[in-house]
Amino acid sequence: MATVTCLLLLTITRTPSHLAPASTSPTSAVSPTPSNQQDTILLAAVRHRGTANTNTPDVYTVHRENATRLQILLPPSVRNTIYTVQLQNEQPITNVKPQGPMDAPYLELTFPPGTLHETYNRVILDSSVEHYELAFRVAVE
């Protein structure tokens, strides 16, 4: 019995654990790549006071061959809002609904490899009651 337990324990500790790939929602810009490898960028939709935001955009590392999953945290008050999302020069994606828990909703979209460039990137979120512009940069490896 001890031998069986030791073998089971050894098998469990040597088996690589993988996170289950995120479910592809209807709001995805593209299906995940065949390798299922994705880079994730997490942004937060927040209101900035004043006319100009002087903060330097955050820099995220993405890999040339990976799709990029963009997750945008939203205020809980907009849980039932439907958005149109536009990444810089890409076509707008309409009818994007928040997902996640009631107190921490977020939008999730997946973009194909090569969509993001090593420059300033901007995402616009529009709904009937909210408008956000989010800025970030990427470093491509």
- Which CATH number is 107's domain given? 2.60.40
Could you report the per-residue pLDDT of 71-115, keeping only the tens digit for each? 999 988 887 899 999 998 889 999 999 999 989 999 999 999 988
- Give me the pLDDT at residue 88, please: 86
- Give me the pLDDT at residue 35, please: 55
Look at residue 8 and tell me if it is in a domain: no
7-30: burial string, b at 16+ Cβ within 10 Å, e else: eeeeeeeeeeeeeeeeeeeebbbe
Look at residue 10 and tell me if it is in a domain: no
- Give me the pLDDT at residue 15, please: 35
- Give me the pLDDT at residue 54, please: 54
Look at residue 125 and tell me if it is in a domain: yes
Look at residue 3 and tell me if it is in a domain: no
Count structural domains, the chain. Answer: 1
Domain membership of residue 30 as a residue range: 25-140
Look at residue 2 and tell me if it is in a domain: no
